[in-house]
Amino acid sequence: RTVRECLAEGGPTFSFEFFPPKTIEDDRLLWQTIRELEPLHPSFVSVTYGAGGSTRTRTIEITERIASDTTLLPVAHLTAVNHSVAELRALVGHLAGAGVRNMLALRGDPPGDPMGEWVQHPEGLSYASDLVGLMREHGNFCVGVAAFPYKHPRSMTIEDDTKWFVQKCRAGADYAITQMFFDADDYLRLRDRVAATGCDVPILAGVMPVTNIGVIKRSEQLSGAPFPAKLAARFDAVAHDPKAVRSMGIYESSKLAERLLDEGVPGIHFITFNRSKATREVWANLALGARI
């Protein structure tokens, strides 16, 4: 089964993102989360690819174990960072051999400083679109790519960003997933500018429930845009009360996802940080079980 097939059934899809943990305890927590989310029957789950070192092997191991030991459909993220074309081909082949046919093709960021100079591996690739091409050449994979509502931080202009995004889709992407955002209008503007080019690749919305104030700061670094000021002020007003912050986060995420669903979003991709509770609460608020 592929994400493409899930989307063709009309959607909306909903999916969960995990990252490869570094410690045995965090690994145990991840598998507990996976087991807690499995009964929600998501369309797929994805596992991010580390910036370097052992977490990269862990991505492959976890994805393969999801494929063999659970009922879930895994999507493996893969980046071009510090890999030769031969290594990338071997990784894609390895995943395929384990029955993983769904992949997210990313360029990745330079290890250490994400905004540092991008240095291509001497025998590697420059852009995510090259990795889409490599996956396409290799076999009949279902390939997703990243989209950025606030443009990628390295893109000079929104127009450039849209142009390169569409080129990446034309290289053979089946769908895209956005970086997290907190205002539905920002997603809708991205969807409109992509549609205006004639590109109809489905763009799934990346949603991350705010569960504590620290997440807001982190989200700014990840999304490449300031957290919306009005919303930040509402969180600040209850910052002294972690419980109130959390319930506001669940409420706001649910409201955002509700609006996106009303606007006909093809899917919602929850960034879980390897915990299930917040995602399960938003899922329950949306009555997603009844929608699909």
Q: Kindly state whether residue 154 participates in binding ligand FAD, applying the rule CB under 6 A.
A: yes
State the Cα–Cα distance between residues 181 and 152, nearest whole angstrom: 13
Among 152, 193, 255, 277, binds ligand FAD (CB under 6 A): 152
Q: Which is nearer to ligand FAD, 150 or 235 (CB)?
A: 150
Residue numbers annotated as active site:
17
Among 7, 72, 150, 161, binds ligand FAD (CB under 6 A): 161
Q: Kindly state whether residue 43 participates in binding ligand FAD, applying the rule CB under 6 A.
A: no
Q: Kindly state whether residue 286 participates in binding ligand FAD, applying the rule CB under 6 A.
A: no
Could you give the 3-state DSSP secondary structure of residue 238? coil
Question: What residues pair up with 145 in beta bridges, in sequence order?
Answer: 176
Q: Are 270 and 280 in contact (CB under 8 A)?
A: no
Q: How far from chain centre, in Å, is Cα 65?
A: 19
Among 13, 15, 63, 79, binds ligand FAD (CB under 6 A): 79
Q: Which is nearer to ligand FAD, 154 or 247 (CB)?
A: 154
Q: According to CB under 6 A, which residues from 171 to 190 bind ligand FAD? A: 177, 179
Phi-psi region of 149 (alpha: psi -120 to 50; beta: other; left: phi over 0): alpha
**φ, ψ for residue 146 (rounded to 5)?**
-95, 145
**Least spacing, CB of residue 154 vs ligand FAD, in Å:** 4
Among 202, 206, 266, 267, binds ligand FAD (CB under 6 A): 206
**Least spacing, CB of residue 4 vs ligand FAD, in Å:** 17
Q: Kindly state whether residue 164 participates in binding ligand FAD, applying the rule CB under 6 A.
A: yes
Q: Which is nearer to ligand FAD, 63 or 79 (CB)?
A: 79
Q: Kindly state whether residue 102 participates in binding ligand FAD, applying the rule CB under 6 A.
A: no
Choose the binding region for ligand FAD from 84-92, 121-129, 237-245, 277-285 (rule: CB under 6 A): 121-129
Q: Which of 131, 133, 136, 138 is nearest to 94 (CA)?
A: 138
Find where tokens 């009922």 sit.
71
Among 101, 107, 191, 280, binds ligand FAD (CB under 6 A): 107
Q: Kindly state whether residue 48 participates in binding ligand FAD, applying the rule CB under 6 A.
A: yes
Q: DSSP labels for 45-81? A: EEE---SSTHHHHHHHHHHHHHHHHSS--EEEEEE-T
DSSP count for the chain of H helices, then E strands? 12, 8
Burial class (CB in 10 A: 0-12, 13-18, 19+), 290: exposed
Q: Residues interacting with ligand FAD, by CB under 6 A?
A: 48-49, 51, 77, 79, 106-109, 127-129, 146, 152, 154-155, 160-161, 164, 168, 177, 179, 206
